[in-house]
Structure 1
Amino acid sequence: MSHRRLALKGKLSFSHPAVRAWLFQIIAIVVVVVVAIYLVHNTVTNLSNRGITSGFAFLDRTAGFGIVQHLIDYQESDTYGRVFLVGLLNTLLVSALCIVFASFLGFFLGLARLSENWLLRKLSTIYIETFRNIPPLLQIFFWYFAVLRNLPGPRQALDAFELFFLSNRGLYIPSPEAGEGLWAAIAAIVIAVAISVGLFRYNRMHQMKTGQLRKTWPVGLLLIVGLPLLAQGIFGSALHWDIPELRGFNFRGGMVLIPELAALTLALSIYTSAFIAEIIRSGIQAVPHGQHEAARSLGLPNPVTLRQVIIPQALRVIIPPLTSQYLNIAKNSSLAAAIGYPDMVSLFAGTVLNQTGQAIETIAITMSVYLVISLTISLLMNIYNRRIALVER
Structure 2
Amino acid sequence: MPRILVPEPMTRFKCNERGCCCQEWRIEFQPEELLVLQRALPPEQRRGLLRRARAWIAEDGETLEGIELATEGPDCRCRFLEEGGRCAIHAQHGPEVLPHLCVRYPGFSFLREDGEVELHFDTVCPEVLARLAESDAPLDLVSVDPPADHHLSARAREPVTAPPVSVGEQALETSEFEGCRDRILEALRDQDRDALELLAAVSHALARLGQGEPPTEFHVEREVPWQPFGAWFDDCVSAHDGRILGRYLKLYARFVFDVPLASGDPETLDAALAYRADWADRVAPRAAEHQGLLRRYLAHRYFAAYGFYRTSRDLAFNYGSAAHTLAVAFRLADGISRWLDRPVDRPLLLMSIGAAEYFSRALRIDRQAMPWFGLELDPAPPQGEDAPGRSDP
Q: TM-score range by the shorter chain?
A: under 0.3
Q: TM-score, normalised by structure 2?
A: 0.22
Taking structure 1 as the reference length, the TM-score comes to 0.22
The structure in which a higher percent of residues are strand is: 2
Bigger Rg over Cα? 1
Name the structure where helix makes up a greater proportion of residues: 1
